[in-house]
Structure 1
């Protein structure tokens, strides 16, 4: 059996803590979950949580950032390898996968948004952690629009569409047909291009 390096062991511990935290937070909410429960679910001591994340809130914010980064990386892969129509279909499939198969994603986002609104001192921490995935998406969008200066606005709308459609599909799957996100992206980017042409 190969022994893990210290860095590999730390990365594995971090990953297991994040996985356990996703399950516990989704079931109990941020306020209802305890560091003890998360550590136990991951098979570690409470000290492992604090040494890797500092606090329960920091762990939660890091969890959201990781999940958001995963989605943006997937979006980058789609945009790199697909024609526009194929990419829209793949993006729609991403909404379906998250809504139908990642049962923790929407509750985690809703939970932390509520917690941050109720605890304004966390709002900036939340915003700061979410800037990295949003900036990555903005860079991707900037490559495919006539005016890269509008990419930040467009990426904000894409994120809002994605999150909103995931939540709607979790509650009422029939209200979000499989191709809806792809069509919404086409409408959004076609509208943005038309707006540029009118300038």
Structure 2
């Protein structure tokens, strides 16, 4: 005989579920009201919890937003990894990455405004800015791993090019974010193929530098 009673969550599972619901509520509340317009009270109410429950899991709305931003950036890097390691029949990975950028720029505008709003807020609050930088290291480290794998695939030994993979990852992230913003300002200036082409320019330069260093050694 089986029981239809719902499975009782462990304490750890319940805490994880609470955090998940609070993050979902924060995402929808930020989207409706903006970062400054959203309050911890509104987020807690939208999630169906007390303010005390929110503060038991997050230090405030800054941490909630940073959790959302970091996990979002990491998902984008993982999506890029799938594109790079995906089915070869889909065509040039650079072109696929360009379409990914265009799709993000053209369809996902609300969060971009939130990012800009939070960036200004963090820039004026050094303590928040430090936490911001720390949280964004995770997606950068993921991207640095992809860069390192790409060097191996091109038979370039680690450290052969002058900048470390973490520095290259920083440049790629800045390039991606900058092109997304530029396309939102002027779509014609950032056609779908530009991001893939820009990556080819970047890595061709790195490969040439590696070649020159080998010849000098």
Report the TM-score when normalising by structure 1: 0.87
Bigger proportion of residues as helix: 1
Structure 2: 5+ residue stretches without partners: none
Q: Indicate how the Cα distance of structure 1 residues 141 and 4 shifts in structure 2: closer, same or farther if over 3 A, else same.
A: farther
Match of 1:55 in 2: 60
Match of 2:142 in 1: 136
Q: CA deviation at 1:8?
A: 4.4
* Equivalent pairs, count: 199
Q: Extract structure 1 runs of 4+ deviating beyond 4 A.
A: 82-85
Q: CA deviation at 1:156?
A: 0.6
Structure 1: 5+ residue stretches without partners: none
- Is the contact between residue 137 and residue 155 of structure 1 (CA under 8 Å) also seen in structure 2? yes
**Is 1:148 aligned with 2:158?**
yes
Match of 1:157 in 2: 171
**Is 1:106 aligned with 2:112?**
yes
Q: Indicate how the Cα distance of structure 1 residues 33 and 169 shifts in structure 2: closer, same or farther if over 3 A, else same.
A: same
Of residues 36, 42, 52, the one that matches 1:37 is 42
Structure 1 stretch displaced more, 121-130 or 77-86: 77-86
Larger C-alpha radius of gyration, 1 or 2? Answer: 2
Match of 1:173 in 2: 187
Counterpart CA distance in 1 for 2:103 and 2:24 is 18
Match of 1:81 in 2: 86
Report the TM-score when normalising by structure 2: 0.80
Q: CA deviation at 1:119?
A: 0.3
Match of 2:98 in 1: 92
